[in-house]
């Protein structure tokens, strides 16, 4: 950051650079699945030559061509062999009738469960008596999650000094999650919501002159019509406690659900202090009614404004899930909207400034939810992973040199990223794996495709690459649109 002498002080915002998505394989750039397919083809070739000689190649040629296509032909940014698990799982769910969800309204759900479809049905709720916050327990992943709402001023309207200070402070928040060693993941979710007009109505009731005059009546009608037509942004931060990593602390706190809640409360206090130090304004940790409104609004966007205007409606977490969900290969439909989830497969490869996501986050006219899912790594684990990557890169480079294969610029750039991560870790920074997801919602399929095209164009302006998660829409939607620290 450079400073210029002036009365107020002008500062230049420091650009940042992201690590590339590693495409390093097990051997010579080939992944494990590719090596298996290539091995099957090589074995079939050798056996055919030993058994029938050169004439038998005609019989194994189709198998060899299929193995070569599976290993090296790409479709939608993935090799064909990488599509096999997705297609197989999709076919299994299709034959088992798992692509449709219908709530049984006459059958009561077990106490403490969430009315969510798919693998999210296993989630359980726990209301902490001391803090009043709702904690979501995932018994399969052994995590306990809490959610807090966050308010903040518009980042792009701040001066460069304030922007740089907030970027540095947010880095300390993420470093706090890494140093804890008990945090499984941190989810930052920013969503656009139709403005219910509640704020305008409250201001008019307090400051307006409400009488029977024509001016007062007209102004009140204008507020009633214009309020719900607006748009607002809401942000949440979710932290998931790794109950396996925190098992000793949980036993020391009394064990069971109460012990896990006590340990999570400690992490909640640490996160609240870190957010305030980053010039953010965290609210109280969400209670069951607050989380119920978020879940209901995600699956049924048409009632989001009504739920906000009537504060006591839709605040039962046991009934906050969708009534019906229908998943297709390219999208998912729930209640009053169609949804499509995009994965940010490539972050900017060149230097960008911290506000580079403005085209995606500030675009109007599209109902979307942007989620960043951070997976912290402990310092010792990150150091071992970096050493392993360095060894693999060096050994792969030696193997390529031995067989005469030329090393391209992408492999050199990925190795330089590993060296930069090692330098950052040595300097005291934390290492996190970041996953970006964008859930786009619209009332019908045609409008959904137009909204997806707008988001893809906005991502290009932000120097990002997005891909539609074909065949994984329902699971991806629960990870992208729900603040529950779900993974894909």
Helix (H, G, I), strand (E, B) or coil at 482: coil
Tell me what pLDDT residue 161 has: 84
pLDDT digits (tens, 9 = 90+) for 335-352: 889 999 999 988 888 888
The strand pair at 183-194 and 143-151 is best described as: unpaired
Tell me what pLDDT residue 112 has: 77
Tell me what pLDDT residue 478 has: 92
When pLDDT is averaged across residues 471-483 and rounded to a whole number, the result is: 92
**Which residues have CB under 8 Å from 55's CB, separation 6+?**
none
When comparing pLDDT for 204 and 436, which is higher?
A: 436
Q: How far apart are CA 325 and CA 477, in angstroms?
A: 11
Above pLDDT 70, what percent of the chain?
90
Tell me what pLDDT residue 366 has: 87
pLDDT bucket at 202, cuts 50 / 70 / 90: low
Tell me what pLDDT residue 4 has: 39
Q: Look at 21-30, 181-190, 286-295 and tell me which has the smallest mean pLDDT.
A: 21-30
Tell me what pLDDT residue 477 has: 94
Tell me what pLDDT residue 27 has: 63
Does the global pTM surpass 0.75? yes
Q: How far apart are CA 377 and CA 431, in angstroms?
A: 6
Tell me what pLDDT residue 70 has: 83
pLDDT digits (tens, 9 = 90+) for 422-469: 887 777 777 888 899 999 999 999 999 999 999 999 999 998 999 999
The two structure tokens encoding residue 352: 């960008």
DSSP string, 293-359: HHHHHHH-GGGHHHHHHSTTSS--GGG-S-SEEEE-SS-EEETTEEEEEEEEEE--SS-B-TTTTHH
Tell me what pLDDT residue 15 has: 80
Above pLDDT 90, what percent of the chain?
27
Tell me what pLDDT residue 3 has: 37
Highest averaged pLDDT of the listed ranges 43-47, 335-339, 399-403, 437-441: 437-441
- pLDDT at residue 226 greater than cutoff 60: no
Tell me what pLDDT residue 252 has: 92
pLDDT bucket at 8, cuts 50 / 70 / 90: very low
Tell me what pLDDT residue 48 has: 82
DSSP string, 231-283: EEEEEEEEEEEETTTTHHHHHHTTSHHHHHHHHHHHHHHHHHHHHHHTT-EEE
Helix and strand counts by DSSP (H, E) for the chain: 15, 17
Q: Around 272, how many Cα atoms within 13 Å sit in the side-chain half-sphere? A: 16
- Count Cβ atoms within 10 A of the Cβ of residue 477 and give its class: 0-12 exposed, 13-18 middle, 19 or more buried: buried
- pLDDT at residue 10 greater than cutoff 50: no
pLDDT bucket at 5, cuts 50 / 70 / 90: very low
Q: How far apart are CA 74 and CA 262, in angstroms?
A: 49
When pLDDT is averaged across residues 92-103 and rounded to a whole number, the result is: 86
What is the average pLDDT score of the chain? Answer: 82
Q: Look at 127-136, 198-207, 471-480 and tell me which has the smallest mean pLDDT.
A: 198-207
Q: Look at 7-11, 194-198, 395-399 and tell me which has the smallest mean pLDDT.
A: 7-11
When pLDDT is averaged across residues 233-240 and rounded to a whole number, the result is: 92
Torsion of CA 434, 332, 285, 287, to 10 degrees: -160
Q: Look at 3-12, 178-187, 287-296, 434-443 and tell me which has the smallest mean pLDDT.
A: 3-12
When comparing pLDDT for 198 and 145, which is higher?
A: 145
DSSP string, 7-43: SS-EEPPPPB-PPP-----SBTTB-HHHHHHHHHHHH
Tell me what pLDDT residue 225 has: 63
When pLDDT is averaged across residues 87-98 and rounded to a whole number, the result is: 86
Tell me what pLDDT residue 78 has: 80
When pLDDT is averaged across residues 153-157 and rounded to a whole number, the result is: 79
Element (H or E) spanning 170, and its range?
helix 160-180
Using alpha carbons, list the distances in angstroms from residue 113 to 126, 137, 141, 256, 257. 9, 10, 16, 18, 15
- pLDDT at residue 11 greater than cutoff 70: no
- pLDDT at residue 31 greater than cutoff 80: no
The DSSP bridge partners found for residue 146 are 239
- pLDDT at residue 196 greater than cutoff 70: no
pLDDT bucket at 9, cuts 50 / 70 / 90: very low
Tell me what pLDDT residue 35 has: 81
Q: How far apart are CA 95 and CA 118, in angstroms?
A: 15
């Amino acid at each position: 950051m450079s400073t210029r002498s002036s009365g107020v002080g002008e500062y230049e915002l420091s650009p940042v650079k992201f690590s590339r998505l590693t495409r390093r394989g097990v051997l010579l750039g080939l992944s494990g699945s590719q090596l298996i397919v290539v091995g099957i083809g090589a074995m079939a070739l050798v056996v055919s030559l030993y058994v029938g000689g050169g004439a038998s190649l005609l019989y194994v040629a189709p198998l060899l061509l299929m193995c070569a296509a599976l290993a090296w032909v790409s479709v939608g940014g993935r090799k064909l062999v990488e599509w096999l698990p997705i297609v197989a799982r999709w076919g299994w769910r299709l034959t088992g009738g798992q692509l449709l969800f219908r709530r049984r309204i006459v059958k009561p759900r077990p106490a403490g469960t969430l009315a969510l479809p798919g693998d999210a049905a296993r989630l359980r709720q726990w209301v902490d008596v001391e803090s009043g916050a709702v904690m979501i327990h995932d018994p399969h992943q052994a995590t306990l999650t809490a959610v807090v709402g966050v308010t903040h001023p518009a980042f792009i309207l701040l001066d460069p000094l304030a922007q740089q200070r907030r970027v540095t402070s947010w880095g300390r928040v993420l470093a706090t999650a890494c140093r804890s060693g008990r945090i499984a993941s941190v989810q930052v979710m920013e969503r656009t919501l139709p403005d219910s007009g509640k704020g305008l109505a409250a201001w008019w009731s307090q400051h307006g002159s409400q009488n029977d005059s024509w001016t007062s009546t007209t102004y009140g009608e204008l507020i009633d019509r214009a309020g719900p037509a607006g748009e607002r942004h809401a942000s949440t931060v979710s932290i998931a406690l790794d109950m396996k990593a925190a098992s000793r602390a949980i036993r020391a706190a009394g064990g069971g659900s109460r012990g896990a809640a006590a340990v999570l409360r400690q992490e909640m206090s640490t996160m609240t202090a870190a957010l305030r130090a980053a010039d953010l304004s965290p609210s109280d940790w969400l209670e069951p009614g607050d989380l119920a409104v978020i879940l209901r609004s995600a699956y049924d966007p048409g009632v989001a404004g009504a739920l906000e205007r009537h504060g006591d409606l839709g605040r039962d977490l046991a009934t906050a899930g969708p009534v019906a969900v229908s998943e297709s290969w390219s999208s998912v439909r729930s209640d009053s909207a169609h949804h499509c989830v995009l994965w940010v497969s490539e972050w900017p490869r060149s230097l960008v400034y911290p506000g580079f996501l403005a085209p995606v986050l500030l675009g109007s006219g599209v109902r979307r939810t942007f989620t960043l899912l951070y997976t912290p790594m402990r310092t010792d684990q990150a150091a071992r992973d970096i050493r392993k990557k360095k060894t693999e890169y060096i050994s792969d480079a030696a193997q390529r040199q031995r067989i005469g294969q030329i090393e391209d610029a992408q492999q050199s750039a990925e190795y330089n990223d590993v060296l930069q991560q090692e330098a950052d870790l040595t300097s005291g920074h934390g290492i996190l794996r970041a996953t970006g997801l964008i859930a786009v919602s619209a009332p019908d399929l045609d409008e959904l495709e137009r909204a997806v095209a707008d988001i893809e164009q906005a991502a290009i302006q932000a120097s990002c690459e997005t891909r539609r998660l074909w065949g994984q829409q329902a699971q991806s939607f629960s990870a992208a649109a729900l603040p529950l620290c779900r993974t894909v």
